[in-house]
């Protein structure tokens, strides 16, 4: 048995280690029939404690007050997950829009969303009034993320964050940071370190918050003294609404407008993110024109999605960019938008 940590955080983590407790972003792991390519990276090779980068991470966490012996035992007992590396190598967002959309915008998901909105009407209304965020948007986010609480993830958050933080070089800095946030979150919200489950990317709860977002944006919406995104619908609803308020969602404002494109010059406007930054004149100079009425002085992003009959083009308003702050994929943002529209009364 390792020595007991001396700090309050250390004591909390030791308790979690002894009793067993864990959650993360669902993506392809929750989708039946998704073909997953094998990752070029290998999980847990060599063993974590033999790696200098793991020892450096442990040193950093010791400076934050966590017991070294506890952390070493933690990395000794972590279960590397090769499936996580395989899943992140081909997320659902790698599909074309024509295949991605039916997963999240379909009759069953819409029906479940309407039932959810009826069952949680009081809390959705309160969240809309408190945070100024459309109740249909809140419901759509939860619908896309977890199918209204049906798919919370099956990976231990600890295993996911360690695997990605030390075996997935493309985003290892991000996931190591999230691992540090998760260790702090365990203390702050009394999560079970060994049993909290989530997505393959370390997101957790009914709205699938990563650890840093949980710490920054989760709210105790039902006033019971805890920010519980795993078991509490009020907290999950209020926290999604608070996230969108903090990222400047503009209630009542549009999200996208249809566009038409002439030629290939529009390709120069793709790939730079989805902040609304192009004027109509700039778009026109690249052969992009609105296909419906839009503000003459507005700023937009350009969205290109692969539909059944070729590319579909849209102009993105600032609200589209806000949705991409929750998940940066334009497919995700469009699915959320279309599900939101389908759920409106």
Residues with a known catalytic role: 145
Give the SS3 label for residue 314: strand
- Return the exposure string of 46-62: e unless at least 16 CB atoms fall within 10 Å of the residue's CB, then b: eebeeeeebbebbeebe
DSSP assignment letter at 89? H
Q: What would the DSSP string read from start to end of 217-284? A: H---TT-SS---TTT-HHHHHHHHHHHHHHTT--TT---EEEEEE-SSGGGGGSSS-S---B-HHHHH
Q: Which residues of 168-192 are buried (b: 16+ CB within 10 A; e: fewer)?
A: beeeeebbbebbbbbbbbbbebebb
* CA 135 – CA 122 distance, rounded (Å): 10
Burial of 224 (0-12, 13-18, 19+ CB in 10 A): exposed
Q: Could you tell me the two tokens for 237?
A: 């609803």
């Amino acid at each position: 048995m390792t020595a007991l940590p001396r700090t309050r955080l250390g004591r909390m983590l030791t308790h979690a280690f002894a009793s067993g407790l864990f959650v993360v972003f669902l993506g392809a792991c929750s989708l039946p029939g998704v073909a997953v390519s094998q990752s070029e990276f290998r999980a847990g090779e060599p063993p974590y404690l033999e790696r200098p980068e793991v020892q450096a991470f442990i040193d950093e966490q010791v400076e934050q007050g966590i017991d070294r012996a506890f952390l070493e035992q933690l990395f000794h007992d972590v279960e590397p997950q090769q499936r996580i590396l395989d899943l992140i190598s081909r997320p659902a967002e790698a599909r074309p829009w024509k295949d991605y959309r039916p997963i999240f915008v379909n009759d069953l998901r819409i029906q479940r969303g309407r039932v959810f909105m009826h069952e949680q009407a009081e809390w959705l209304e309160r969240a809309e009034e408190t945070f100024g965020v459309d109740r249909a948007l809140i419901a759509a986010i939860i619908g896309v993320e977890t199918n209204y609480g049906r798919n919370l993830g099956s990976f231990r958050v600890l295993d996911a964050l360690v695997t990605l933080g030390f075996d997935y070089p493309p985003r290892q800095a991000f996931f190591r940071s999230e691992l540090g946030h998760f260790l702090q979150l365990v203390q702050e919200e009394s999560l079970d370190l060994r049993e909290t489950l989530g997505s393959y990317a370390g997101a957790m709860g009914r709205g699938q918050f990563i650890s840093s977002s949980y710490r920054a944006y989760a709210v105790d919406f039902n006033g019971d003294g805890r920010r519980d995104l795993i078991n509490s619908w009020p907290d999950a609803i209020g926290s999604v609404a608070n996230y969108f308020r903090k990222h400047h969602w503009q209630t009542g404002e549009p999200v996208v407008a249809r566009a038409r494109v002439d030629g290939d010059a529009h390709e120069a406007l793709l790939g730079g993110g989805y902040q609304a930054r192009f004027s109509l004149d700039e778009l026109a100079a690249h052969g992009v024109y609105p296909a419906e009425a839009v503000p003459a002085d507005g700023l937009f992003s350009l969205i290109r999605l692969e539909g059944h009959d070729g590319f579909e083009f849209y102009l993105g308003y600032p609200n589209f960019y806000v949705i991409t702050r929750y998940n940066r994929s334009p497919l995700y943002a469009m699915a959320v938008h279309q599900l939101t529209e389908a759920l409106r009364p």
